Amino acid sequence: MREHRKYDRATAVIKVNYSTHGDLKMDYAQNISRGGLFLATENHFELGQGIELHLNTSGLKNAIAVPGVVRWVGERGTPAVKGIGVQFKLDDPKAKERIDRMVNVVDEPIKKQLAETLEAESIQIFILDPNDFASKMYADGIYKMARRGEGDLSGPVEVSRFTTPKDLETTLEDRPCSALIIELKSTEFEGVAVIKKLREQFGESLPIFAISRPFPRDRYEALEAGATAFLNKPLQMRTLFNTLLICLQEG
């Protein structure tokens, strides 16, 4: 079914708690605009069905509560992901203001995003992946995104790479990080267990992005473990950066 919408959507991954007919569920939105979002879900929905959303970037206590209506049902992306297009019902001015602010941060040029989001503070991004080639590729991509625009913006961004959970945990004892990227499926360690342990230590304040294959099972494992976002391979830097900026702003 073809989707029609008033606003362009920005790619970003946001955890969403939602309810319909009294059932409480969780999944990830994969893009957002001022008018709505695309919610990945394997559940059945009808056009026109009401849904209560809680956009959760830093814990349910700070979630943005907004009702919506299902306007589209189908698949999007490559590989295809099942889901629904939801139109927001923004009767609450506070919810509208927070969603506008969330979208604004990904609409602005990256130079302005970094300056306004960080206010001269540095972003410390940690990557946990035993594959040195992959983690270096992610780090190079992050630095490249940070340098876009006028001048060299790599200064506010520092990426540290780790191959074992032990090395990561030792560093976290002395150095705080702004966001953590973890390989979910590895022969060297169990990403789900690492995420659960970090959630016990740091609560929901630390943005944790799980990277894995674009399969619903992997997505739900990341969700249950407590990952802030689930990012499909191959990793899209624009999506990662948008998600990071939203989490930093809302955190």
Same domain, 226 and 128: yes
In a domain, 3, yes or no: no
In a domain, 240, yes or no: yes
In a domain, 170, yes or no: yes
Same domain, 76 and 190: no
According to the model, what pLDDT value does residue 71 have?
96
Per the structure, the complete domain to which residue 36 belongs is given by 10-107
Contacts of 157 (CB under 8 A, 6+ apart): 114, 122, 123, 125, 142, 143, 146
Question: The domain spanning residue 118 has which CATH number?
Answer: 3.40.50.2300
The number of distinct structural domains making up the chain is 2
Q: Which residue has the tokens 């340098």?
A: 147
According to the model, what pLDDT value does residue 238 have?
87
Q: Per DSSP, what are the bridge partners of residue 81?
A: 76
Taking phi first (over 0 means left), then psi (-120 to 50 degrees means alpha), and beta for anything else, what does residue 40 get? Answer: beta
Same domain, 143 and 99: no
In a domain, 92, yes or no: yes
Token code pair at residue 239: 């999506």
In a domain, 1, yes or no: no
Same domain, 73 and 136: no
Residues of the chain under the 70 pLDDT cut: 1-7, 59-60, 107-121, 148-155, 250-251
In a domain, 4, yes or no: no
Same domain, 36 and 64: yes
CA distance linking residue 221 with residue 68, whole number of Å: 26
In a domain, 5, yes or no: no
In a domain, 49, yes or no: yes
